[in-house]
């Protein structure tokens, strides 16, 4: 795949097949690696909040999305706690967002920010119940952009 000069046909076919097989075998690992990278950036985004006394959950949510695609992560949140949701991607040129909605679809962000491949939203639930973190890829040079989401509470 990386050859920059012509190869005899059979050799090229053999090389291509080998490359496809190798890529197929490695693809899940590559995807996993990028989601893991996204996660490491999400934890980076969470670090300032950890320093402010938020407990950051070790669990994380993530995957990959196309540009403008959205995903809802439903969460049980408790009135009395304050939450920060932090999202990140490992695609440097990507732009992403996260916002929090209640179970009736109302935006409930108390605060939010968006900075390239990092985004955050804070919520202080007015009622205990189910909330939805809506994550979105706003722009990206990639067809599929890995993302990860973590949250902290205090």
Which residues contact other proteins by CB under 8 A? 40-41, 44-45, 47-49, 52, 55, 57-59, 61, 69-81, 84, 95, 97, 99, 101, 103, 105-107, 109, 112-115, 118-120, 127-130, 132, 134, 138, 151, 153-154
User: In whole angstroms, what is the distance from residue 37 CA to residue 23 CA?
Assistant: 19
Strand partners, 44: none
Task: Quote the least distance from Cβ 26 to other proteins, whole Å.
Answer: 20
Task: Quote the least distance from Cβ 87 to other proteins, whole Å.
Answer: 12
Give the nearer residue to other proteins in terms of CB position, either 7 or 127. 127
Give the nearer residue to other proteins in terms of CB position, either 34 or 151. 151
Cα distances from 111 to residues 14, 145, 152, in angstroms, run: 56, 25, 14
Shortest CA distance to 101 belongs to which of 91, 110, 88?
110
Give the nearer residue to other proteins in terms of CB position, either 26 or 127. 127
Task: Quote the least distance from Cβ 148 to other proteins, whole Å.
Answer: 12
Task: Quote the least distance from Cβ 58 to other proteins, whole Å.
Answer: 5
Task: Quote the least distance from Cβ 126 to other proteins, whole Å.
Answer: 10
Q: How many CB atoms lie within 10 A of CB 57?
A: 13
Give the nearer residue to other proteins in terms of CB position, either 15 or 36. 36
User: In whole angstroms, what is the distance from residue 66 CA to residue 144 CA?
Assistant: 5
Please, which residues have CB within 8 angstroms of residue 79's CB and are 6 or more apart in sequence? 125, 126, 127, 128
């Amino acid at each position: 795949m990386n050859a920059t000069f012509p190869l005899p046909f059979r050799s090229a076919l053999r090389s291509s097949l080998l490359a496809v097989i190798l890529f197929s075998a490695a693809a899940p690992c590559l995807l996993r690696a990028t989601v893991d990278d996204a996660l490491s950036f999400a934890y980076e985004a969470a670090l300032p909040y950890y320093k402010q006394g938020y407990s950051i959950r070790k669990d994380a949510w993530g995957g990959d999305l196309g540009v403008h695609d959205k995903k809802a992560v439903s969460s049980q949140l408790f009135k009395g706690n304050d939450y920060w949701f932090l999202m990140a991607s490992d695609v440097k040129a990507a732009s992403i967002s996260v916002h929090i909605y209640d179970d009736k679809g109302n935006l409930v962000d108390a605060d939010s920010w968006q900075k390239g491949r990092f985004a955050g939203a804070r919520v202080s639930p007015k009622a205990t119940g189910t909330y939805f973190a809506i994550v979105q890829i706003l722009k990206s040079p990639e067809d599929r952009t890995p993302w990860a989401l973590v949250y902290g509470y205090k």
